[in-house]
Amino acid sequence: MRRVLLFALLTAAAASPAAAQSAAEWAAVVGNEVRVTTGVTYLTASNWDAKLDVYRPATPGPHPTLLHIHGGGWTGGSREGVVLRTLPYVQMGFAVVNVSYRLARVAPAPAAVEDCLCALKWIAENAKEYGFDVSRIAVTGYSAGGHLALTTGMIPESAGLDRQCPGAPLPKVAAVVNWYGITDVNDLLDGANRRVYAVTWLGSLENREAVARRVSPLTYVRKDLPAILTIHGDADPVVPYTHGTRLQAALQSAGVANELVTIPKGLHGNFPRADQLRAMQAARAFFVKHGLLPAVPASSN
């Protein structure tokens, strides 16, 4: 895994000569400054082991911690497939916890939501060993992972979706960065916005509309939520842009700190370089604004 991180950094340096010096310098020391732990089982459910990987600073903690969730419409994708997406957050100084969760072929909704809540509990329960700062936990994800980042940060313990991992209470999330995530699952089950991936995730559940509401971020909008940043292309063909704008309107009405970064003509991720850089800069500024990162990056970043 260290080799993957080093290779990615060196590749980035070669692709961008202007940034080559800083990227190469970081690559030269990352082997000493980043600790990598892979394949940790944080939950066993549906006869399946949910695993995670941790990339954390080698310096003594506690460190701001980011729960990182892959996409794939709850039906595909993997944590291994988004390793490179963790790099900007590692460079920012986060301890990154990159998770797998039960896909539809293993268990239908709400299994993925349950798993990510259990991963959040795992962070709190293992904070001392890994140097996690439980007062500075953020969650991020892409597409279905954006949805899961939102549910992880928004769902209260009273909803009962953390019962797969009883014990310690759910820690409080300080911020969520939602990359083009689903906010209203029912909207994708029928009608003009029907999406096969959503239908597959809910399967033939008799009460699928009720389950869809139970796992929809819009269901949980209230005043006492973490700060939420949404990044969404206004031409997204996979997750309608209205999912981002409806969430923003609901959060504003509830008095929740939030921002919406719109990518003009943006599709479902794979944004043009300038737009991707702008989005990542907005994410870092958001973390600084809400106290997860220092205003001035450390010299090693």
The 3-state secondary structure of 114-173 reads: HHHHHHHHHHHHCHHHHCEEEEEEEEEEECHHHHHHHHHHHCCHHHCCCCCCCCCCCCCC
Instruction: Could you list the beta-strand ranges (E) of 171-298.
Output: 175-179, 227-233, 258-263
Angle, in degrees to the nearest 10, between helices 2-15 and 20-33 = 170
Say if CB 80 and CB 86 are below 8 A apart.
no
CA atoms of 168 and 158, how far apart (whole Å): 14
CA distance 43 to 45: 6
Percent of the chain with pLDDT over 90: 85
Distance in angstroms (rounded) separating the CA atoms of residues 276 and 210: 36
Q: Is residue 175 part of a domain?
A: yes
**C-alpha triplet 100, 155, 244: angle, nearest 5°:** 80
Query: CB-hemisphere CA count at 13 Å for 103?
Result: 16
Question: What are the tens digits of pLDDT across the range 205-260?
Answer: 999 999 999 999 999 999 999 999 999 999 999 999 999 999 999 999 999 999 99
Q: Is residue 240 part of a domain?
A: yes
Identify the band that residue 168 occupies on the pLDDT scale cut at 50, 70 and 90.
confident
Q: Specify the pTM.
A: 0.91
Residue 44 lies in a domain: yes
pLDDT value of residue 79: 97
| d(C-alpha 59, C-alpha 263), whole Å | 36
pLDDT band at 31 (very low <50, low <70, confident <90, very high): low
Residue 162 maps to a domain: yes
Average pLDDT over residues 156-177: 95
Position 16 scores a pLDDT of: 47
Q: Tell me the per-residue pLDDT of 67-98, one tens digit each, with 9 for 90 and over.
A: 999 999 999 999 999 999 999 999 999 999 99
15 band by pLDDT with thresholds 50, 70 and 90: very low
Domain enclosing residue 256, as ranges: 37-79+91-289
Q: Look at the chain and report how many structural domains it folds into.
A: 1
3-state secondary structure (DSSP) of residue 50: strand
Domain assignment present for residue 278? The answer is yes
CATH code assigned at 265? 3.40.50.1820
Q: 23 in a domain, yes or no?
A: no
Q: Determine, yes or no, domain membership for 143.
A: yes
Rounded CA separation 264/152 (Å): 28
Q: Is residue 298 part of a domain?
A: no
